[in-house]
Structure 1
Amino acid sequence: MNQNNINIIECPRDAMQGLSTFIPTQTKIDYINQLLKVGFHTLDFGSFVSPKAIPQMKDTREVLDGLDLSETSTKLLAIIANLRGAQEAVSYDQISYLGFPLSVSEIFQRRNTNSSISEALWNLKEIVTLCKRHRKEAVVYLSMSFGNPYGEYVPTTKVLDLAVQLREMGVKIISLADTIGAATLKDVEHMFENASKVLSDTELGVHLHCHPSDAYSFAKTAIDVGCKRIDAALGGLGGCPMAKDDLTGNLATESLIKALSDSNSIESNLNLEQLDLANEFRKKYIG
């Protein structure tokens, strides 16, 4: 497998958004500027959502103003939850990707974006059109793809049906998200084996939440099943504060890098010295 087949998405936004203590704006700027030196494909850096819902990200605009993109090839991704957020996000030239969470769980869709799945799909059509008009790319996260805490049964076929609808809508990047850390390794294998049959022309990614001790195994499995993009966060920080009370951390970047290096000589192509500096900063100032 060629190393260029896998895009690594570092997610400081997801790492920080659930922390109860507000991280100063300048600290966010310094951390993300350090991550920009590492060589990730994309940074999920902030979000244009209501500060009442996600108070930690209320300073995304100020953070964006402080970023130095002059010597990096890393692209920026911002999360949006509705058309209003998308309209603001597309006005920034620095942002390349708009990430939209579409849940396969009806309960979580309402909890996360205050809309039904059908309403979210309707809004998404307008967002995709907006992205094309402003030369941005929509990234859709199919959250709760591997289970939910509400007892809703969502078969793999429903997840894939939604993914096909997205592709037909013009969405070229879809990330299957395990929002609460419910997936097993076999679940990931099964999902991607089936998804690759119907979404061969899609950049299919995975956004996993898991215990740090399981991160390497999940990263290795995602690589082995042909995942084209993998989300991660240094230290395995983060989780979705809208999903449940106890956050389950993100896939740790350190584990992903080790899994890449162990997989048929795939190299991450990252600047590991700058990565170490970013990790030291994270430990000292973020968590």
Structure 2
Amino acid sequence: MSTHRPDRVHIREVGPRDGFQNEPERIATDNKVRLINALGRAGFKRIEVASFVRPDVIPQLADRVQVLERIDVPDDVSLMVLVPNSRGLDNALKVRHLFHEIAVFVSASETHNKKNVNRTVDETMADNDVMVGRIRAEGLRCAAVIATSFGCPYEGRIELKRVLDIAERFAEAGATEIGFGDTTGMANPAYAGEFFTAALERLPGVEVTAHFHNTRGQGLANAFAALEAGCSSFESSFGELGGCPVPAGSTGNIATEDLVSMFHEMGVATGLSLPAIIEAAREAQSVLGRTLTSHSLIAGPVNWPSSAA
């Protein structure tokens, strides 16, 4: 066993935001509420549920306030929303009583950032500096997300120093968590291990979170490498839902049920019920009317007792 490997990890479920936003057919609000409630029963302490982007940009999430008002999860579940800019933050703060955390974001790649939010990285970060301060002043927890941290489909490999410089700027502004996104699935296990070793050294006192996509089938291997480097905070999406709208072909996040299955079989505790997550993914499959691709959904959990939950 690695001397750095945590024996317990925290997993934020991002399917209700990162997953749903990529679905081409509109998901009824009732179904969104039902699926989020099912995730709440699985033991998650953190769920990303909405994004305050313009409804014409992501129509799928236009019912965010109705969803936030109607979901019924345990009181100890921390709900997160994502905001793209100060206008989005203004809208989110109108209903700040409905959630507990806000995430802001930027791409490490200039080209991806421009295509994603039509701003340069410097323009986005200037806005983020202001937003982080406002979020903290509201008494809300602030997480920062750096997309394309491991590579960009337009620019190739992104220099590690560049990514960590952005992360350090977020930390100095007051972000208490920084997530590193493998937005289009370009990481590999060797680099993921090197990356998180460096990130954890550079960002003491900050929760460092791994967010991998399974676009090229390396998502779980990358999560394992991050774990071995000492990372104890992860994001994933039930049913392997999700992806990145820019560019096309960037398929889903690693499946939460596959990640949890791997951790439990390794003896790493998550506090989550794997059968309940699989059942939530089955419900999502029924709602969406198509077969989802997570391995645990197809094969079920390994059929022997585990004490890692």
Q: Specify the alignment match of 2:235 in structure 1.
A: 231
Select which of 79, 88, 91 maps to 2:91.
Answer: 88
Q: Match of 1:219?
A: 223
Partner of 1:280: 282
Where 1:142 maps in the other structure, the secondary structure is strand
Secondary structure of 2:208's partner?
strand
Q: Which amino acid aligns with 1:270?
A: L
Question: Structure 1 runs of 4+ off > 4 angstroms?
Answer: 1-4
Deviation of the 1:177 alpha carbon: 0.6
Do structure 1's residue 186 and structure 2's residue 190 form an aligned pair? yes
Displacement, 1:220?
1.9
Tell me which residue corresponds to 1:106: 110
- Residue correspondence of structure 1 range 12-23 to structure 2 within 5 A: 12=15, 13-23=17-27
> Is 1:257 matched up with 2:253?
no
Q: How far 1:14 moved relative to its partner?
A: 0.9
Deviation at 1:276, TM superposition (A): 3.3
Amino acid at match of 2:92: A
Q: What does residue 36 of structure 2 align with?
A: 32
Report the alpha carbon displacement of residue 169 of structure 1 after superposing the two structures with TM. Answer: 1.2
**Equivalent residue pairs, number:** 283
1:200 Cα deviation (Å)?
2.0
**3-state SS, counterpart of residue 111 of structure 2:** helix
Shift of 1:147: 0.7
Contact preservation (8 Å) 2:20, 2:60: yes
Q: Which residue identity does 1:169 align to in structure 2? A: A
Judged with a 3 Å threshold, the aligned counterparts in structure 2 of structure 1 residues 212 and 10 are, in CA distance, closer, same or farther, namely: farther
- Which residue, 26, 42, 45 being the options, matches 2:46? 42
**CA gap 1:182/1:33 in 2 versus in 1, 3 angstroms:** same
1:93/1:210 CA distance change after superposition, 3 Å: same
CA distance in 2, matches of 1:153, 1:239: 19
- Asked if 1:271 corresponds to 2:273, the answer is yes
Please give the alpha-carbon distance, in whole angstroms, between the structure 2 residues aligned to 1:22 and 1:249.
18
Q: Secondary structure at the match of 1:167?
A: helix
Separation in 2 of the partners of 1:199 and 1:94? 30
Give the 5 Å matches for 1:45-124.
Answer: 45-69=49-73, 71-90=74-93, 91-124=95-128
Mapped partners of 2:259, 2:146: distance in 1 = 21
Equivalent position of 1:209 in the other structure: 213
User: Following the alignment from structure 2 to structure 1, what is the Cα–Cα distance between the partners of residues 194 and 216?
Assistant: 22
Query: Which sections of structure 2, spanning at least 5 residues, go unmatched?
Result: 291-309
Alignment partner of 2:144 out of 128, 140, 145? 140
Contact preservation (8 Å) 1:219, 1:255? no
Specify the alignment match of 2:296 in structure 1. none
Kindly tell me: are residues 273 and 139 of structure 1, through their superposed partners in 2, closer, same or farther at Cα, counting changes over 3 Å? same
8 Å Cα contact 2:10-2:234 kept in structure 1: yes
The equivalent of 1:168 in structure 2 is 172
Paired amino acid for 2:41:
K
SS in structure 1 at match of 2:185: coil
SS class of match (1:181): coil
In the alignment, the residues of structure 2 paired with residue 2 and residue 73 of structure 1 have an alpha-carbon distance, to the nearest angstrom, of 23
Query: Is 1:197 equivalent to 2:201 in the alignment?
Result: yes
Look up the SS of the partner of 2:277 in the other structure: helix
* Identical counterparts, % of pairs: 28
| Structure 1 unaligned regions, length at least 5 | none
- Quote how far apart the aligned CAs of 1:211 are: 4.1
Equivalent residue, structure 2, for 1:131 = 135
Per-residue deviation, 1:214: 3.3
Shift of 1:199: 0.8
Give TM-score, length-normalised by structure 1: 0.93
Distance in 2 (CA, whole Å) between partners of 1:163 and 1:279 is 33
- TM-aligned CA distance change 1:96 to 1:3, over 3 Å: farther
Distance in 2, matches of 1:120 and 1:173, equals 18
1:9 corresponds in structure 2 to 12
Amino acid in structure 1 at the alignment position of 2:136: K
**Contact map agreement 2:35 2:280 (CA 8 A) in 1:** yes
